[in-house]
Amino acid sequence: MAYLFDTPEQRRVMLDAIGVESVDELFRQIPQDLQLGRELRLPEPMSELALEQEMQQRLGAVSARGVCFLGGGVYDHFIPAVVDEITSRGEFYTAYTPYQAEASQGTLQAFYEYQTLISQLAGMGVSNASLYEGGTAVSEAVFMAMRVNGRHGRVVVAGTVHPEYRQVLETYFSRLGTEIVVIPPEGGVTSLEACRRALDTNTCALVVQQPNFLGCLEDIRGLTESAHAAGALSILAFDPISPGMLKRPGDYGVDIAVAEGQPLGTPLQYGGPLLGIFTCRSEYVRKMPGRLIGKTTDRRGRDCFVLNLQAREQHIRRDKATSNICTNQGLLALRATVFLATVGPRGLRQMATLSHQKARYAASLLTQIPGVSLKFPGPFFREFLLETSMRAEDLLPALSAEGYDVGPAPGRFATAGLAGLERCVLVALTEKRTRQEIEGLAAAMTRVLQRG
């Protein structure tokens, strides 16, 4: 045992108090024939020092990794030191769900602040205290739309929505008989005409993304109006950095806005744990999935915070709960709270603007390379789709070998709506990328394409 507590004498005291001879006796509750009777076949125990040395070898090396121009929902953003400092405090880190309000006011107030910050960021009435990640948040949004308007037959999804969000949606709804209708993109965006055709009187919701998976900007207001005209809800997946520069989901009048919150202070961690942001109009609050923190007063009239509207949740409503989620992504929500409090409105604006300017600079350099162009000529925010003379599956490893990681390539997803993009790759920029790195990428791509 790595963590030693009681001496043999103390164990004896405990066994005597219980009234048994040995620990084995306690395990007699397990029928003998079900007991394992051998040791688990696992590696030998390791000391802290020895395991650290091994892990440094196995997880410490990044020599194969290039400069990160990767996007597709999570991005290599800067995280101020204060985020790590605060969130690694054990008082937050090693607490659990704030069931005992008096012993959890720190957590509760921080999550109330999180809900407010996210509502401000999204321009929406109410935010919950987190879901697992962006993709499942989309599925939860569709479930909620069904609860709101009672329509179960169909959900219409733009083909420009992240293909892996759509794959998650397919899995979540695979047994429920709901038809998932995908609108094929036209010129990198969703046509209002095609959208209107897909929406019917059985459609619970329209799901769109801004900026969309291909980096393009959609006519969210028009799409939302089409959804509303058909009696469906409008669900928008947004980039949580974009409100630093672009309109917020609420500005377009959407009903539910979700996001992958990773850009707000969470490290990449190979895609998890991340932060599922979930917001909606205030009137739907009792249909929301996940935890909510509310403000109230205590017995002595002092302002305080408490888990609120728990009757929606699984521990009370069980099979009729608005979601099965229990453990959520609290710590990542705390990271986003500290992050937003630290960078403030100007910092977020700078992040968005820097990412955008660098994306434009990168696009302008890269499109000067012979055979390279923007797949879609429209405006983009911080990520754009590049078409080259090479197949993406050849280009990306060659660029990595040169020290630049680019992607993903939409062609890798066997998903409706992404056909014909075999020579395309996404390039994503954040405030972290320097001019030198961008120029280095352009030079590397020139070399790779010249080699052919």
Partner 1 sequence: MRNPTATKLLFEMSCAGRGTQVFPESDVPEVSGLAAIGAEFLATEPLPLPEIAEPDVVRHFVNLSTLNMSVDSHFYPLGSCTMKYNPKRHERWARLPQAAGSHPYQSEAQIQGLLSVLYELQGMLAEIAGLPGVSLHPAAGAQGEFTALLTAAAYFRDRGEQRTRVLFPASAHGTNPASAALAGFECVQLAGGRDGFVDLDELRAQLDERTAVFMVTNPNTLGLFERDIRQVSELLHSVGGLVYIDGANMNAILGRTRPGDFGGDMMHYNVHKTFTGPHGAGGPGAGPIAVRDFLAPYLPAPVVTWDAARNWYSLSVPEKSIGKVRTFFGNVGILLRGYFYIRTLGGRGLREASENAVLNANYLLSQVKDFLDVPHGDRCMHEFVASARRQKEQTGVTTMDIAKRLLDYGFHAPTVYFPLVVEEALMMEPTETESLQTLNAFAAALRAICSEPADLVRGAPHTTAVCRPDEVNAARKPVLCWSAPEC
Partner 2 sequence: MDAAELRYAKTHEWVSVEGDIATVGITAFAVQLLTDIVYLSLPTVGKSFNPGQAMGEVESVKAVSDIYAPVSGSVVEVNSSLPENLSLLTESPLDKAWIVRLKMRDPAELQGLLSYAEYVKHCDKDGH
Ligand X SMILES: Cc1ncc(COP(=O)(O)O)c(C=O)c1O
User: Using CB under 8 A, which of the segments 150-158, 195-203, 334-342, 443-451 binds partner 1?
Assistant: 334-342
Q: Which does residue 289 bind out of partner 2, ligand X, partner 1, none, counting CB within 5 to 8 angstroms by kind?
A: none
Strand partners, 279: 127, 257
DSSP class of residue 175 equals T
Residue 71 contacts by C-beta under 8 Å, 6 or more apart in sequence? 382, 383, 407, 408, 426, 427, 428
Nearer to partner 2, 311 or 401 (CB): 311
Find which of partner 2, ligand X, partner 1, none residue 8 binds, CB within 5 to 8 Å per kind: none
Q: Are 256 and 236 in contact (CB under 8 A)?
A: yes
What Cα–Cα distance (Å) separates residue 27 from each residue in 14, 32, 35, 159?
15, 9, 9, 56
We find the least distance from the C-beta atom of residue 113 to partner 2, in angstroms, to be 23
CA distances from 353 to 35, 245, 426, 440 (A): 62, 7, 19, 21
154-213: which residues touch ligand X (CB under 6 A)? none
Among 179, 271, 283, 419, binds partner 1 (CB under 8 A): 271
* Residue 160 touching partner 1 (CB under 8 A): no
Residues 239-268 that bind partner 1 (CB under 8 A): 243-248, 251, 260, 267-268
The answer to whether residue 318 forms part of the interface with ligand X (CB under 6 A) is no
Beta carbon of residue 100, minimum distance to partner 2 (angstroms, whole number): 15
Q: Which does 313 bind (CB under 5 to 8 A by kind): partner 2, ligand X, partner 1, none?
A: partner 1
Stretch that binds partner 1, among 192-200, 224-232, 361-369, 440-448 (CB under 8 A): 361-369
Q: Cα 325–326–331 angle (5° rounding)? A: 105
> How many residues lie near ligand X (CB under 6 A)?
2
Pairing of the two strands 424-428 and 383-387: antiparallel
The CB-of-190 to partner 1 minimum distance in angstroms stands at 15
327 binds ligand X (CB under 6 A): yes
**Strand arrangement, sheet containing 383-387:** 373-374, 383-387, 424-428
Q: How far apart are CA 172 and CA 169, in angstroms?
A: 5
Q: Which is nearer to ligand X, 216 or 331 (CB)?
A: 331
- The minimum distance between CB 327 and ligand X, in angstroms, equals 3
- Residues between 280 and 309 that touch partner 2 (CB under 8 A): 286
The b-or-e profile of 60-84 (16+ CB within 10 A means b, else e) is eeeeeebbbbbbbbbbbbebeeebe
The nearest distance, CB 317 to partner 2, in angstroms, is 5
Evaluate the omega torsion of the peptide bond into residue 273 and state whether it is cis, within 30 degrees of 0: yes
Report the residue number, 316 or 419, with the smaller CB distance to partner 2.
Answer: 316
Per CB under 8 A, the segment of 27-35, 152-160, 200-208, 226-234 that binds partner 1 is: 27-35
Angle at the Cα of 410 (from 406 to 413), degrees rounded to 5?
A: 120
Binding partner of residue 451 among partner 1, ligand X, partner 2, none, CB cut-off 5 to 8 Å per kind: none
Q: Please give the full DSSP string across 381-401, using - where no structure is assigned.
A: SSEEEEE-SS-HHHHHHHHHH
What residues form DSSP beta bridges with 209?
A: 237
**Distance of alpha carbon 305 from alpha carbon 303, whole angstroms:** 7
Min separation Cβ 215 and partner 1, Å: 12
Q: How far is the CB of 314 from ligand X (least distance, A)?
A: 8
Site for partner 2 in 315-344 (CB under 8 A): 316-317, 320
Q: Residue 295 Cβ, how far from partner 2 at the closest point, in Å?
A: 15
Cα dihedral 236, 139, 284, 257, rounded to 10, equals: -20
78 or 446: CB nearest partner 1? 78
- Residue-wise over 339-349: b if at least 16 C-beta within 10 A, else e? bbeebeeebbe
**Min dist. Cβ of residue 154 to partner 1 (A):** 16
For 45, 230, 277, the CA distances from 280, given in Å and listed in that order, are: 49, 19, 10
Please choose, out of 311-319, 357-365, 406-414, 435-443, the segment that lies near partner 2 by the rule CB under 8 A: 311-319
Single residue of 144, 236, 292, 449 touching partner 1 by CB under 8 A: 292
Residues making contact with partner 2 (CB under 8 A): 286, 310-311, 316-317, 320
